[in-house]
């Protein structure tokens, strides 16, 4: 009896996997990102540009590295480009480009790795430069799940880690381009 139930369970699980594998989870991860986080990143990015996609606003420096700008006499032009200006430029452009790539499923694995790096740097900046308090930072393995940094961002990173490892699935530009170039065939997916 137990063996029959185990075999039935295995057959059903294998059938579900066969039907859904390759397209559902990558699509679901990207849709979840689009529904929950895309506008968060996009609106944040818009505050960093001075009316042009090629001009980083001084506000970006104040948002990302306030103590460094303060040390430069509140003059963003006096902040050293390396490493601080580079961090501001990479963060500002990354906050626009990477989320778009993830949602489209284009260069998804690279974009997902970029987003993991972005979230780690964002969390560091929030802790080191914005003086996040203990409640905002949170703690893992406690009975609370609402801390902005350790709790919420761990889930963000998990979404990106899934996409980095498994790819966006068959419902993506990566897959379509790979198929059209002949580098991807069924049932493989990118």
Q: How far is CA 121 from CA 61, 87, 88, 124, 184, in A?
A: 14, 9, 11, 5, 34
pLDDT at 73: 95
Q: Which residues of the chain have pLDDT under 50?
A: none
Q: Give the span between the Cα atoms of 70 and 4, in whole angstroms.
A: 70
pLDDT at 186: 59
Q: Give the span between the Cα atoms of 114 and 111, in whole angstroms.
A: 5
Say if residue 60 is exposed, middle or buried (CB neighbours under 10 Å; 0-12, 13-18, 19+). buried
Q: How far is CA 150 from CA 20, 113, 123, in A?
A: 31, 18, 8
pLDDT at 52: 81
pLDDT at 182: 86
Q: What is the separation of C-alpha 16 from the centre of its chain, rounded to a whole number of angstroms?
A: 28
| pTM for this predicted structure | 0.91
Closest CA to 105 of 158, 43, 33: 33
Q: Give the span between the Cα atoms of 33 and 103, in whole angstroms.
A: 7
Q: What is the separation of C-alpha 151 from the centre of its chain, rounded to a whole number of angstroms?
A: 15
pLDDT at 189: 53
- The H-or-E segment that residue 140 falls in is none
Beta strands (DSSP E) in 57-114 are none
Question: Are 99 and 115 a contacting pair, CB within 8 Å?
Answer: yes
- Read off φ and ψ for residue 49, nearest 5 degrees: -115, 140
């Amino acid at each position: 009896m137990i063996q029959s139930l185990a075999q039935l369970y295995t057959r059903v699980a294998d059938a579900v996997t066969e039907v859904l594998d390759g397209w559902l989870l990558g699509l679901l991860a990207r849709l979840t990102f689009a529904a929950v986080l895309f506008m968060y990143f996009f609106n944040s990015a818009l505050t960093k540009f001075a009316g042009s996609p090629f001009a980083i606003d001084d506000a970006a420096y104040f948002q990302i590295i306030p103590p460094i700008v303060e040390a430069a006499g509140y003059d963003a032009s006096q902040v050293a480009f390396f490493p601080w200006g580079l961090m501001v430029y990479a963060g500002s452009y990354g906050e626009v480009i990477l989320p778009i790539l993830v949602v489209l499923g284009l260069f998804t694995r690279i974009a997902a790795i970029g987003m993991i790096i972005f979230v780690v740097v964002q969390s560091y900046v929030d802790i080191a430069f914005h003086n996040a308090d203990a409640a905002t930072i949170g703690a893992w393995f406690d009975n609370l799940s609402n801390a902005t940094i350790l709790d919420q961002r761990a889930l963000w990173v998990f979404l990106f880690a899934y996409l980095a490892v498994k790819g966006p699935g068959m419902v993506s530009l990566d897959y379509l381009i790979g198929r059209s170039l002949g580098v991807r065939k069924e049932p493989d997916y990118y």
